[in-house]
Amino acid sequence: MKPRISVIIPTRNRSEFLGDAIASVLAQTVPAQEIIVVDDGSTDETQDLLGKFEGPIRCLYQSHAGPAAARNRGLAAVKGEYIGFLDDDDLWPPDKTGQQLAHLLANPDVGMVLGHTQRVVQRPSASGKRDFEHYKKPARLFSLGCGLYRRTLFETVGLFNDRMQFAEDDDWFMRCDELGVHLVFLPEVTQYYRFHESNMTWDRQSRQRFLLHLAKNRMDRARSRREQSK
C-alpha cells in the first residue's frame, strides 16, 4: 500500500490565485491522495472555482477564523500519514512531494523535510496577465509550504495557535525546535512564494508586534517547563 499524502490549503478570497495553487498540487509526480481546501469564510468566487476541478479535492467551509484555525480544521479531517501545506497563492514544483517523501521513508527518525523557497514578485504587465519573476536566490526559510511533515508530528508538537492571526507558523516551528524535532533541509526548491499586492500588507509596526508575541510565547513555555521540573 502506497504511503498516503494529504495536502491542506487554507484560503480566503483568493480565487484569482487559488486555481494555480491547486493545479501545482495536482501536477505532482507523486500525487497526493487527498487535497483538502479549507475555505475560511470567502465571499468571492472560491466555491465556483472549486467546482471546476476534478481529482481528490475536498472542500471544508468555516466562518472566518484565520489561517491557523483553517489549518487545524484540515488536520482534523486528513487521512494521510504525510502532510503538506500550501498557501492559496503559492506554488509547488512538480517533484516536491516525491523528493521529500523519499527522504522521510528512508529516514524514520526525521519528523519533517523542508526545502528551499524561491520568492517571486508580481510585475506590471501590459497584457493584463499576472507576470512573476524570481526575486533573489532561493532561500532556506522556515515556511510551512516548503515542507512535508509526518502526521504524528502534530500529536507531539500540537496544533497551530488559533489565537494568532499572523506568524502562527513561526510559533509552531519554535515549538518544534524546543522539543528537538529532527528535521532536514533539502537543497532543492520546494516552494514558490509569490509576492503580490494583496499580501504585501505588513507594516513595520505590525510585524514588530507579532515578533514580540512570538518571543513572549516562547518565554512563557520556557517558564512553564522550569516550573514543571521543580
Position 49 scores a pLDDT of 93
One domain, residues 47 and 66: yes
User: Do 39 and 110 reside in the same domain of the chain?
Assistant: yes
pLDDT 10s digits, 12-53: 999 989 999 999 999 999 999 999 999 999 999 999 998 888
Which residue(s) pair with 189 in the sheet?
116
3-state SS assignment for residue 122: strand
Assess if residue 226 is contained within a domain: yes
The answer to whether 200 and 122 are in contact (CB under 8 A) is no
Are 218 and 148 part of one and the same domain? Answer: no
Beta bridge partners of 84: 7, 148
Would you state the pLDDT for residue 128?
60
Spacing of C-alpha 209 from chain mean position: 22
> Does residue 108 sit within a domain?
yes
> How much is the pLDDT for 31?
94
Same domain for 221 and 171: no
- On whether residue 128 sits in a domain, the answer given is no
Q: Are residues 193 and 86 in the same domain?
A: yes
Q: How far apart are CA 13 and CA 85, in angstroms?
A: 18
Examine the domain organization and report whether 106 and 206 are in the same domain. Answer: no
Range(s) of the domain holding residue 162: 5-115+141-199
Q: At what angle do helices 168-178 and 204-229 cross, to 10 degrees?
A: 30
CATH of the domain at 38: 3.90.550.10
**Of 198, 93, 85, whose CA–CA distance to 138 is shortest?**
93
Looking up cell 524561491 gives: 118
pLDDT for position 160: 97
Residue 130 belongs to a domain: no
136 found inside a domain: no
Q: Are 163 and 110 part of one and the same domain?
A: yes
The answer to whether residue 72 sits within a structural domain is: yes
Task: Name which of 153, 157, 156, 170 is nearest 210 in CA terms.
Answer: 170
- For residues 204 and 182, membership in a common domain is answered with no
Do residues 158 and 220 share a domain? no
Strands (DSSP E) contained in 5-125 are 5-11, 34-40, 57-62, 82-85, 112-123
Residue that the C-alpha cell 471544508 belongs to: 60
Does residue 98 sit within a domain? yes
**Structural domains of the chain, count:** 2
Q: Are residues 228 and 151 in the same domain?
A: no
If asked whether residues 154 and 179 sit together in one domain, one would say: yes
Instruction: List the pLDDT tens digit at each of the 230 positions of the chain.
Output: 677 999 999 999 999 899 999 999 999 999 999 999 999 999 999 999 988 888 899 999 999 999 999 999 999 999 999 999 999 999 999 999 999 999 999 999 999 999 999 988 877 666 666 676 667 899 999 999 999 999 999 999 999 999 888 888 999 999 999 999 999 999 999 999 987 666 544 445 555 666 666 667 767 776 777 677 76
pLDDT score of 78: 95
